[in-house]
Amino acid sequence: MNRGIVYALLAYIAWGAFPLYFRQLGGVGAFEIVLHRVAWSLVFLAVLLLVLRRWAWLVALHRQPKVLAAFGVSALLLSSNWLLYVWAVMNGHVLDASLGYFINPLVNVMLGYFVLHERPRAGQWAAVALASVGVLWLAALGPHLPWVGLTIAATFGLYGLMRKTAALGALEGLTLETMLLAPLAIAVLGWQTWHGSGGLAGHDGATLGWLIGVGPLTAIPLLLFAAGARRIPLATLGVLQYVSPTLQLLLGILVFGEPLAGTRLVGFAIIWIALAVYSLEGWQHANAKA
């Protein structure tokens, strides 16, 4: 139990600290950062699979076109989420990005109801209703429509839905997704390198080192999360998941100086109340079952 909490907590802390890492790449565009993220993640994952000798699943893939198609969709959702998140961090929208991950659990409730025909409990519906009020408040009275947060929540929610029914585990699934994205990423990075406008050219050694580091930075938290999720109850995991957007929120306010006041603060507060209702209901349901 304690080890599982440590693994999951480390994963969420790493995800929450991502803005600090990506801000080290201020001179690199978001699209190129995602290209490097795909390429170096694949290198890291390939080495890891080689060490673990977990290549058997690759042999059968050519006989599973539906699996390839499903992971093709999840790869597009994942890369879209990565691109928007990195763009948000690089362009002063860390708070909007944190909003997306705050409301993601409630998006999952809605997807479960409409797509998987699950039956949310009354407390979950109450949390979704409150969060909807908060989002509508931000849209109507805030300085701008919270499209960054909504899109991040939607892409990550849909990605989670795809992976919930996936035929492969976390490590194998992420490897296949990066394999499907890698041809385009490597081709564009190669073209940029050839023309000296990016890729492996046009960057100093420190910047190139930060770019290479996005590979393990992507894979390690995911592996920690998978290890933690296997060892702790879902209710505990549901509470811990707010560590990541909370850290992003604090970084946005305290480190990057993004404003959170007035109508925007009220909207966030309503969403936090919704999350408190959601978490409390989950704990009560888990205890009742125990």
Question: What mean pLDDT comes out for the span 3-32?
Answer: 92
Q: Please check whether residue 84 is in contact with residue 155, taking contact to mean a CB–CB distance below 8 angstroms.
A: yes
252 has pLDDT over 90: yes
Distance of alpha carbon 129 from alpha carbon 133, whole angstroms: 6
Contact 37, 214 (CB under 8 A): yes
pLDDT class of 1 with cuts at 50, 70, 90: low
Q: Is the pLDDT of residue 271 over 80?
A: yes
Q: What is the dihedral of CA 83, 89, 241, 40, to 10 degrees?
A: 50
232 touches 1 (CB < 8 A) = yes
More reliable by pLDDT, 230 or 26: 26
Helix (H, G, I), strand (E, B) or coil at 54: coil
Query: Mean per-residue pLDDT for 281-288?
Result: 78
Cα–Cα distance, 90 to 20 (Å, whole number): 10
pLDDT of 132 over the 80 cut: yes
Q: How many domains does one find in the chain? A: 1
Q: What is the pLDDT of residue 257?
A: 93
Looking at residue 165, its pLDDT comes to 76
Give the pLDDT score at 235: 62
Residue 172 contacts by C-beta under 8 Å, 6 or more apart in sequence? 49, 54, 57
Neighbours of 91 (CB within 10 A): 11
Q: Are 201 and 249 in contact (CB under 8 A)?
A: no
pLDDT band, very low/low/confident/very high, at 234 (cuts 50, 70, 90): low
Mean pLDDT of 64-76: 92
Of 234, 68, 48, 75, residue with least CA distance to 167: 68
CA distances from 239 to 17, 134, 281 (A): 18, 20, 11
pLDDT tens per residue, range 134-170: 988 888 876 677 899 999 999 988 998 888 777 888 8
Give me the domain span that covers residue 140.
2-289
Supply 96's token pair: 């909007």
- Look at residue 195 and tell me whether its pLDDT is greater than 80: yes
Number of CB atoms found within 10 A of residue 208's CB: 16
pLDDT of res. 133 = 92
Task: Please indicate, yes or no, whether the overall pTM of this predicted structure exceeds 0.85.
Answer: yes
Residue 262: per-residue pLDDT:
83
Tell me the average pLDDT across 185-202: 89
Matching residue, tokens 């979950």: 124
- Cα–Cα distance, 115 to 162 (Å, whole number): 11
Where does residue 166 fall: left (phi above 0), alpha (psi -120 to 50 degrees), or beta otherwise? beta
- Please choose, from the candidates 238, 246, 245, the residue with its C-alpha nearest in 3D space to the C-alpha of residue 281: 238
Checking if the pLDDT of 11 tops 70, the result is yes
* pLDDT value at 33 more than 60: yes
Tokens 């946005």 belong to residue: 252
Helices of type H across the chain: 2-16, 18-22, 30-52, 56-59, 65-90, 94-114, 122-141, 147-164, 170-194, 205-229, 234-240, 243-250, 262-289
Which stretch of 229-238, 260-269, 274-283 has the lowest confidence by average pLDDT?
229-238
> How confident is the model at residue 79, as a pLDDT?
95
